[in-house]
A and B are shown apart, each in its own frame.
Chain A
Amino acid sequence: MKALTLRNLSKTYKGGVTALRQVNLDVEQGDFFGLLGPNGAGKSTIIGIVSSLVTRSGGDVRVMGYDLDTQPWEAKGLLGLVPQEFNFNHFETVEQVVLNQAGYYGMPRRQARERLERFLRELSLWEKRRAVSRTLSGGMKRRLMIARALIHGPRLLILDEPTAGVDIEVRRSMWQFLRKINQDDGVTIILTTHYLEEAESLCRNIAIIDEGRIIENTDTQSLLDRLSAQAFILDTAAPMTAAPALEGFRVEQLSAKQLEVEVRKEQTLSALFAALQRVGIEVTSMKNKSNRLEELFIRLVEQNDGIDPGP
């Protein structure tokens, strides 16, 4: 059984923006899953649909095997949400916000108070429990939403840019907290972020979404490998009958006098040319091949630069 299953999810907003096109996604139980994509890619729309805040135009959602349409009571009870925008009552205290949330899930007050103390302490909000939520700093408000999302003991926690606008120190302590929730409590976590470093450090698997489509879905390591590799197109002086074997490099023949070669991060161009020389291939020109993934990440990183220079 998966923690989350999306099948053919589609969404067209009133006004005609198509935010999602046939999205399919599976997230395993216990996973720490990253959903990455540039602004407007559709991340929050997916999360909105899963958490019943947005109606979908088509498709199915299952949370821990429960269908959101036919078994909403179970599906909603197992889900915790930390939304992108602050959405608590600004006039209530930290304690009231979290205890009321427990109440909506039918948790008795006494049990809710015990859990409240645990999460507020772990998120360094205990001293602020009587503070009116409007008076909290941005980072505290984010942590309040995390405590609120966990109070009823969800098995799947979804966080939409939980560390946006949070300083590096607090961000790192939030990472530590989330890792602990994932490892010790076995809560499956899905998070969206614009910080590559965050995804890299936290997530075991990553899906990339752009213009409402999932364009990559793989484990973090292979994604990073692919990102750091560069592809080059080489024009050769003489025609070749087959792709030459270049030690350590992935080579593909595009035409009689054209090759595509992948150079990974730890490899050098000098090594490539040495290998070419060994097999007697003369190169007349060379150009960098752009890849979609890389372009996307450049966009991601640029946006991210605009917000925060990063550590």
Chain B
Amino acid sequence: MYWRRTLIALATIAGKETHRYLRIWIQTLVPPAITMALYFVIFGNLIGPRIGPMEGYSYIDFIVPGIIMMAVITNAYTNVVSSFFGAKFQRHIEEIMVSPTPNAVILLGYVAGGVGRGLLIGLIVTIVSLLFTRLQIHSIPVTISVVFLTSVLFSLGGFINGVFARKFDDISIVPTFILTPLTYLGGVFYSVSMLPDFWRGVSLLNPILYMVDAFRYGILGTSDINIWLAYVLILGFIALLGGFSLWLLERGIGLRG
């Protein structure tokens, strides 16, 4: 009985979250498709041939995995942060807070929304990339598991951001000043092995690099780092951010006056 009801509550929140980003698809699904198509045209088709091969692959083939990953990361994050902040702002988060829905279910429901949007965008960008190059997948399990876990991780990040956000500006600070730079510097457009030792060392402190690289391994079969390390890192961060999110919900931080 308890489990059945809990599952219904989870399905309700996840369904509502999915419905939300689908309803506003012009704002949520179309922009990344266009932006990423531009990356493929400019870096892939126009400039790419002059850059020449990267780690043995044509430049466009090299950047496709990174660009897909970049779209997944930003969209998973943005979905949860805007939805959760919106629910606080319009106060309809109170609908859930008065109900017996356990905190873990609230968190899972929101994360499901972020993961859903992240993966859907990942799929869209992948399809767009097929207009520019032929994609072969080296390892389906690695590709799927890395993109899935990464979207879970960034959905959790967006959730935490949403808990602390007090005004609309607060939801774009992290994506603009942290996520985007770390993603660009995470080897989306170049191989870190090209960098001088010092900058290479610095790059290795960037967790996003491991995710991009592991995903690229899944698709191309080539990697600058040990992909098991990437899994450990991603799972570790998921445990950390997930635990922190639950603690925030338990304490009612940013929610209960």
> A-side interface residues toward B, CB under 8 Å?
13-14, 48, 51-55, 72-74, 76-77, 79, 81, 83, 85-91, 96-97, 100-101, 103-108, 148, 152
Contact = CB atoms under 8 A, between A and B. Distances in A.
Interface string B83-107: 0000100111011111111000000
B246 interface: no
Nearest to A54: B257
A76 B99 contact: yes
B94 A83 contact: yes
A170 B205 CA distance: 64
Contacts of A77: 100
Q: Which 6 pairs show the lowest CB-CB distances between chains A and B?
A: A106-B5, A103-B12, A104-B99, A87-B91, A76-B100, A89-B92
A81 B92 CA distance: 13
A106 B4 contact: yes
A81 B101 CA distance: 15
Contacts of A48: 257
9 contacts: A55-B252, A86-B91, A87-B95, A100-B12, A101-B95, A103-B12, A104-B12, A104-B99, A148-B95
Nearest to B86: A89
Interface residues of B, number: 28
B8 interface: yes
Given A104-B99, A105-B100, 11 more contacts: A48-B257, A53-B257, A88-B92, A101-B95, A104-B9, A104-B95, A104-B96, A106-B4, A106-B5, A106-B9, A152-B99
A87 B94 contact: yes
Contacts of B23: 91
B17 to A, nearest CB: 11
B90 A87 contact: yes
Contact of B257 (A14, A72, A103): A14
A72 B102 CA distance: 10
Contact of B98 (A51, A55, A97): A51
A88 B95 contact: yes
Chain A contact residues: helix, strand, loop or mixed: loop
B226 to A, nearest CB: 43
B11 interface: yes
A91 B83 CA distance: 12
A293 B15 CA distance: 51
Given A89-B92, A108-B8, A100 B16 contact: yes
A60 B94 CA distance: 21
Contact of B256 (A54, A79, A152): A54
B20 to A, nearest CB: 8
B6 interface: yes
Contact of B11 (A74, A87, A103): A103
Contacts of A148: 95
B175 to A, nearest CB: 23
A105 B257 contact: no
A107 to B, nearest CB: 7
Contact of A107 (B8, B15, B252, B256): B8
Given A53-B97, A100-B12, A90 B90 contact: yes
A6 B54 CA distance: 70
A74 B16 CA distance: 25
A91 B27 CA distance: 15
A133 B206 CA distance: 45
Contacts of A13: 257
Nearest to B96: A104
Contacts of B87: 89
A48 B4 CA distance: 28
A148 B92 CA distance: 12
A100 B94 CA distance: 12
Contact of B99 (A86, A91, A101): A101
Contacts of B99: 76, 101, 104-105, 152
Interface in B57-86: none
Contacts of B15: 103
B8 A53 contact: no
A105 B90 contact: no
A105 B150 CA distance: 31
A103 B252 CA distance: 22
Contacts of A104: 9, 12-13, 95-96, 99-101
Nearest to A89: B92
A55 B12 CA distance: 26
Nearest to A106: B5
Given A100-B12, A104-B12, A106-B6, A55 B256 contact: yes
